[in-house]
Every structure is written in C-alpha cells, then in structure tokens.
Amino acid sequence: MTPSAGDGLILRIAPHGESDKLVTWYSPQSGRITAIAKGAQKSKKRFSNKLEPFSQLCLYYRPPRSASGLHFLEDADLIHANIQVRQQYSKYLAACCISELTLCFTRELDADSRIYTMLIWAMAEINRNDRFYKYPLFFHLRLLQLAGYKPDFTTCCRCGNPITEAGSVCLPPQGPSGAALTCGSCRPVQAAEANILSLQTLRMLDFAQHTDLLTLRKLQPSPSCIMEGLDMLQLYSQHLLQTDMHAWRILRRQLMYSH
Ligand SMILES: [Zn+2]
C-alpha cells in the first residue's frame, strides 16, 4: 500500500490499548482522518513529542488493510505547535470547542479545504492573542455556513419580516432542520431568556458571516455580544445535531469568571 503525506491539524488523541494511540486530524486534501499510531504511548521518541492536540503537522500515513479498518500513522513533522493553546487553560478550552464542533460537523474522508483554512486560522489566532474568545464564535459561524446550515440573522422565520429589534432562537420540536430566528412579535411567550438575542448581536453575527478573515480579526464585539452569539450558536447546533456538546459549557464557565 502506498503511504500518503499531507498537512493536518490534530483534533483529538486518545489512548488505544496498551501502547498505541488513536489520532484524529483534519486535512485539506482528505478531510477528517483517524489513524492508529503504533507504540505512541510507550515510546515518546517515536513521534518525538510532536503528537499533541491542536498542533499543525505534516503527517505520513498508510491506508487501512481492510475497508472498515483504520489508517496507520507512521511519522509526523511539526509545522506549528500552537504551544500557548495547550499551556493556558482558557485557550485550551476554546480550542476544545473548535475541535468538538469539527468532529461533530464533518465526516471521515470528506474534505473541504475551507474548513481546514478556518481551523488553522482560528487555532493560530487563539494561540497568539490575549483576547481570543471571539475566535470560537467566528469559527462556529463559518463552520455552520460551510456545512450547509447557515443561520439567517436578518429575517424572521415565522412572518418573513426583517428583524429590526431583539430576536430569539426558534427551535421547533418537529425536527432539527428548522432551527432559526424569530422577530420580537413572533417570539413565543414562553421563550427562555437565554434564547433572546439583542439587535446588536444579530447585526454583528450577520456581518461576521459575510466578511473576510482580515476584517474578522479587527472586529471587536463586546463580551456580552460574544456570549450571546456563542450561546445562540450552541443551541442552534445542538438542535441541528440532536446531540449534547460539552466543551462550550466548560468554556462558558471560564468566560463568566474572567469578566
Ligand atoms: Zn416575525
């Protein structure tokens, strides 16, 4: 079998049996790949400490022996270690959110190089910035767009009118695909306080959805806008995927302490 090589960002590493590790990364050419790294638990020398979560590496791997099998990771070269992300707890939590979202919204061997670009961008910005909480938000927003679930922050999903005041997240019980936003008049009376988004947040999210990465880097939403936006996207994605995501809850607690 011919070995392959390509860049990738490590999303998850887990022990596998006595001495191996399971490594999952996202690459621009192949998308999400999970491979077994033989002996990686026992011999640190084998990968000379390069196999760390959120590192950007060039990975050398062989295809599985059978259709249902795992790839085999042979070697890796370091491109960016993103060391700060692993050394600062809150940065680590932000990176965990991004990796959890990527694992939820992508499939094995289904590549989208734009998702890789966003991953590399968000990790590098979290790594080098002190004010990094906006990056999990921007990443989530763009990932939804790339996965084909772009939320509309400007139009009410019930009456079709433009939203000109605070809106609220609408999560219809009949199914995940209908998650959207309603205007103030169409908001259900029993809407939870947590589901309500200020007009400022809605405008910021709409702008962030349509601008380039350079502008996103300069954009400085207020902490309350970031929090509202992150809460909204979390609700939206959990409803879409019909699954619980854990990383945001832990990061949220950290965010509350730091403001
Ligand atoms: Zn309405």
pLDDT digits (tens, 9 = 90+) for 221-246: 999 999 999 999 998 999 888 888 89
Residue 132 shares a structural domain with residue 245: yes
Q: How far is the CA of 165 from the centre of ligand 1 (A)?
A: 11
Q: How far is the CA of 232 from the centre of ligand 1 (A)?
A: 18
Q: How far is the CA of 189 from the centre of ligand 1 (A)?
A: 13
Q: How far is the CA of 140 from the centre of ligand 1 (A)?
A: 25
Q: What tokens were used for 23?
A: 């490594």
* CB within 8 Å of 43: residues ≥ 6 apart: none
Distance, CA of 117 to CA of 124 (rounded, Å): 11
Distance, CA of 42 to CA of 20 (rounded, Å): 8
Number of other CB atoms surrounding residue 202 within 10 Å: 22
Share of the chain above pLDDT 90, in %: 71
Band the pLDDT of 187: cuts 50, 70, 90: confident
Q: How far is the CA of 179 from the centre of ligand 1 (A)?
A: 14
* Most trustworthy range by pLDDT among 95-99, 179-183, 188-192, 194-198: 95-99
pLDDT at position 255: 85
Distance, CA of 176 to CA of 181 (rounded, Å): 14
Residue 159 shares a structural domain with residue 228: yes
Q: How far is the CA of 156 from the centre of ligand 1 (A)?
A: 5
Band the pLDDT of 48: cuts 50, 70, 90: confident
Average pLDDT over residues 38-52: 83
Residue 210 shares a structural domain with residue 137: yes
Q: What is the pLDDT of residues 77-130, one digit of tens each?
A: 999 999 999 999 999 999 999 999 999 999 999 999 999 999 999 999 999 999
Please state at what angle helix 134-146 crosses helix 223-241, rounded to 10 degrees: 40
pLDDT at position 111: 95
Residue the block writes with tokens 């205007």: 183
Q: How far is the CA of 209 from the centre of ligand 1 (A)?
A: 22
With beta carbons less than 8 A apart as the criterion, state whether 156 and 127 touch: no
Residue 159 shares a structural domain with residue 68: no
The DSSP code sequence of 97-164 is: HHHHHHHHH--BT---HHHHHHHHHHHHHHHH-SS-THHHHHHHHHHHHHTT----SSB-TTT-PBP-
Q: How far is the CA of 139 from the centre of ligand 1 (A)?
A: 28
Q: What is the pLDDT of residues 129-150, one digit of tens each?
A: 999 999 999 999 999 999 999 9
- In the predicted model, is pLDDT for residue 156 greater than 80? yes
Q: Is 109 helix (H, G, I), strand (E, B) or coil?
A: coil
Residue 107 shares a structural domain with residue 56: no
Task: Give the total number of structural domains in the chain.
Answer: 2
Residue 110 shares a structural domain with residue 33: no
pLDDT at position 243: 87
- DSSP assigned state of 187: S
- In the predicted model, is pLDDT for residue 185 greater than 80? yes
Domain CATH code at residue 212: 1.20.1440.120
**Domain range spanning residue 155?**
85-258
Residue 104 shares a structural domain with residue 199: yes
Q: How far is the CA of 187 from the centre of ligand 1 (A)?
A: 7
Q: How far is the CA of 168 from the centre of ligand 1 (A)?
A: 10
Q: How far is the CA of 185 from the centre of ligand 1 (A)?
A: 6
Residue 45 shares a structural domain with residue 101: no
Q: How far is the CA of 202 from the centre of ligand 1 (A)?
A: 15
